[in-house]
Amino acid sequence: MRIAVLSDIHANLPALDAVLAALGEVDAIWHLGDVVGYGPHPDEVVARLRDVEAIGVRGNHDEAALGALDVTYFNPAARWAVEWTARRIAPETRAWLQDLPERLEIEKITLVHGSPRDPTWEYVTTTPAARANLAASATTQCLHGHTHIPIAWRDDDGHVEAVRPSDGFELVLDERRVLLNPGSVGQPRDGDRRASAMVLDTEARRVTWRRVEYPIAAVQADIRAAGLPAWLADRLATGD
Ligand code: ZN
């Protein structure tokens, strides 16, 4: 089975469409949450994911958009964007987000937004956090997002190795425990402004990272037209 793995789409429809086109024919589309938040197209992104029958989990921004979360923990600009999303989304978008579980296990692979031990919130950015979460995962392979940085954390006999993939990088999946992060479709933060995603091939037992150009200026215009904060548009241009 060839699976597109998408995370942190953040209501950026042109980035989602560019990634779906670039990855080509797949058997399934899995997402790792933060479908909405920050970006100007929450209803459109959810409609597209529904059309392509994507399955996935809930992120902290999805939860915030449902009003299920105390947003005083968000920084003021993020909070503003969260409240914009919560006000704007259609009832069917809300219902779709509401149905997302915080964790899924499919084909012996775990899907979470943050980490296996804290599915919605934890950022796995350090070796100690990766080590603890490799141990906490119920499956050998775990897919997660939240940091917006493409990376693989692999347990090699107690030594935790961080693999930083570039466009086209392939990682063979074996018996070693691994956390796989596809990076962000709609708001990359690793200094590369291109959308980031992953293709998982369960028969060939390998995963491939991809970077995809999309029309950033069009999204920036939609951000401005929606009255969302200007820093959101600036950030897309730099990818940080
Ligand atoms: Zn996110």
**8 C-alpha to center of ligand 1: Å?**
5
pLDDT at residue number 48: 98
**144 C-alpha to center of ligand 1: Å?**
11
Return the closest-CA partner of residue 37 out of 73, 74, 72, 5. 74
Q: Are 28 and 227 in contact, with CB atoms under 8 Å apart?
A: no
Question: Which whole number is the average pLDDT over 119-146?
Answer: 97
**Structure confidence at residue 29 as a pLDDT band (50, 70, 90):** very high
Distance, CA of 113 to CA of 182 (rounded, Å): 11
DSSP label at 73?
A: G
Which residues have a Cβ under 8 Å from the Cβ of 57 and sit 6 or more positions away? 31, 32, 33, 100, 101, 102, 103, 104, 111, 112, 113, 119
pLDDT at residue number 68: 65
Ranges 37-41, 99-103, 189-193, 226-230: which has the least confidence: 226-230
Flag whether the pTM goes above 0.85: yes
pLDDT at residue number 49: 98
**21 C-alpha to center of ligand 1: Å?**
22
49-99: pLDDT as tens digits: 999 999 999 999 999 999 866 667 677 777 888 889 999 999 999 999 999
As a whole number of Å, the CA-based R_g of the chain is 17
147-176: pLDDT as tens digits: 999 999 999 998 999 999 999 999 999 999
Question: Which whole number is the average pLDDT over 101-114?
Answer: 97
CATH of domain 2-238: 3.60.21.10
**Structure confidence at residue 6 as a pLDDT band (50, 70, 90):** very high
pLDDT at residue number 229: 87
Partners of 110 in the β-ladder: 105, 142
Distances 174 to 29, 169, 199 between C-alpha atoms, Å:
22, 16, 16
Burial of 55 (0-12, 13-18, 19+ CB in 10 A): middle
**201 C-alpha to center of ligand 1: Å?**
24
**157 C-alpha to center of ligand 1: Å?**
31
**34 C-alpha to center of ligand 1: Å?**
5
**53 C-alpha to center of ligand 1: Å?**
21
pLDDT at residue number 69: 67
Distance, CA of 11 to CA of 1 (rounded, Å): 27
**78 C-alpha to center of ligand 1: Å?**
11
**198 C-alpha to center of ligand 1: Å?**
16
